């Protein structure tokens, strides 16, 4: 089992304190779900964990190795950002070879969600087709820890179901940290749920707590 230990994350932008001493422990075999209102700092937290943004303070460890720069994260932490990141003119079969671990290339190429598009380029895909491709390339990368920021955004219900099955299958060997406003889907696949609110991560026990902390409307 591998552990991603995330501790002492503080981040402010100017006068705005966004993250106030965040602690999170992710391990292979588990999905950690992070919910939070718009602007609560979820993407900021993901970027700090992935290393593309520096916290005011941070302490991030993969097993016994302190992760200090992007190179330290290579093959350990992968990140699906909110916005599209794929080159638009490269054939999808080549993207699969580029992003996925060698062991996974055949499996990914044969996925129903990917196989029909192998000879196309990303620029010919619809928004949802592109989103699911990006999510799959990150999920099947070499990294043991996978950060997914809004993976279900713009996906139709059956595709969301297929993607959730893939995430659960891959949890056998990987640890996931996932955030999405489709909270039902996050709840369905997460072992632990956290609410990011007022700069702190609160462990959530049930839906009532999500109402009490003002994330869900009272009448749901
Ligand atoms: N580079 C930046 N400079 C200044 N403020 C920023 C910067 N990046 C983010 N912020 C602010 O930090 C806060 C948290 O942003 P973040 O994108 O992390 O929120 P989020 O929880 O992911 O929101 P959403 O659910 O809407 O995607 C917001 O108020 C945002 O305006």
Atom of ligand 1 nearest to the CA of 150: 27
pLDDT interval class at 120 (50, 70, 90):
very high
If you measure from the C-alpha of residue 126 to the centroid of ligand 1, how many angstroms do you get, rounded to a whole number?
Answer: 26
Q: Is 116 helix (H, G, I), strand (E, B) or coil?
A: helix
- Considering the domain boundaries, does residue 8 fall inside one? yes
Pairing of β 77-80 and β 65-66: unpaired
Distance CA(56)–CA(43), nearest Å, equals 16
Ligand 1 neighbour 179 (Cβ under 6 A): no
Mean pLDDT of the chain: 96
If you measure from the C-alpha of residue 2 to the centroid of ligand 1, how many angstroms do you get, rounded to a whole number?
Answer: 29
Q: For the chain, how many structural domains are there in total?
A: 1
Token pair listed for 214: 């003002």
101: how many CB neighbours lie within 10 A of its CB? Answer: 13
Q: Name the β-bridge partners of 35.
A: 195
Res. 220: pLDDT tops 80: no
Query: Are 79 and 149 a contacting pair, CB within 8 Å?
Result: yes
Nearest residue by C-alpha to atom 31 in ligand 1: 39
Distance CA(109)–CA(6), nearest Å, equals 33
Q: Look at residue 127 in the predicted model and tell me its pLDDT.
A: 93
If you measure from the C-alpha of residue 137 to the centroid of ligand 1, how many angstroms do you get, rounded to a whole number?
Answer: 25
Please give the ipTM for the structure prediction.
0.98
Q: Look at residue 196 in the predicted model and tell me its pLDDT.
A: 97
CATH number at residue 106: 3.40.50.300
If you measure from the C-alpha of residue 7 to the centroid of ligand 1, how many angstroms do you get, rounded to a whole number?
Answer: 20
152: how many CB neighbours lie within 10 A of its CB? Answer: 23
- Considering the domain boundaries, does residue 218 fall inside one? no
pLDDT tens digits, one per residue of 136-187? 999 999 999 999 999 999 999 999 999 999 999 999 999 999 999 999 999 9
- Considering the domain boundaries, does residue 96 fall inside one? yes
pLDDT tens digits, one per residue of 72-84? 999 999 999 999 9
Average pLDDT over residues 51-58: 96
- Considering the domain boundaries, does residue 58 fall inside one? yes
Residue 196: phi, psi to the nearest 5?
Answer: -90, 115
**Ligand 1: which of 42, 180, 199 to mutate, judged by most atoms within 8 Å of the beta carbon?**
42
pLDDT interval class at 49 (50, 70, 90):
very high
Q: Name the β-bridge partners of 16.
A: 13
Helix or strand run (H / E) with residue 163: helix 157-170
Q: Look at residue 12 in the predicted model and tell me its pLDDT.
A: 97
- Considering the domain boundaries, does residue 160 fall inside one? yes
Q: Which percentage of the chain shows pLDDT scores above 70? A: 100
Res. 218: pLDDT tops 90: no
Q: Which domain holds residue 73?
A: 3-212
């Amino acid at each position: 089992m591998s552990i991603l230990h995330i501790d002492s994350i503080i981040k402010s932008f100017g006068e705005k304190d966004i993250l106030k001493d965040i602690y999170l422990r992710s391990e292979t075999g588990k999905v950690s779900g992070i919910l939070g209102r718009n602007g609560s700092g979820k993407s900021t937290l993901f970027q700090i964990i992935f290393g593309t943004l520096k916290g005011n303070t941070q302490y991030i460890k993969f097993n016994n190795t302190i992760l200090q720069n992007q190179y330290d994260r290579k093959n350990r932490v992968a990140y699906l950002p909110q916005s599209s990141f794929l080159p638009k003119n490269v054939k999808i079969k080549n993207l699969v070879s580029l992003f996925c671990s060698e062991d996974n290339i055949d499996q990914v190429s044969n996925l129903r969600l990917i196989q029909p598009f192998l000879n196309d380029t990303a620029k010919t895909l619809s928004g949802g087709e592109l989103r699911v491709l990006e999510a799959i390339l990150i999920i099947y990368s070499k990294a043991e820890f996978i950060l997914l920021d809004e993976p279900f955004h713009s996906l139709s219900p059956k595709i969301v179901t297929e993607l959730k099955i893939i995430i659960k299958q891959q949890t056998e060997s990987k640890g996931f940290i996932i955030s999405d406003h489709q909270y039902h889907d996050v709840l369905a696949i997460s072992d632990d749920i956290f609410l990011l609110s007022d700069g702190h991560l609160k462990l959530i026990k049930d839906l009532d707590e999500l109402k009490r902390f003002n994330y869900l409307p009272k009448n749901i």
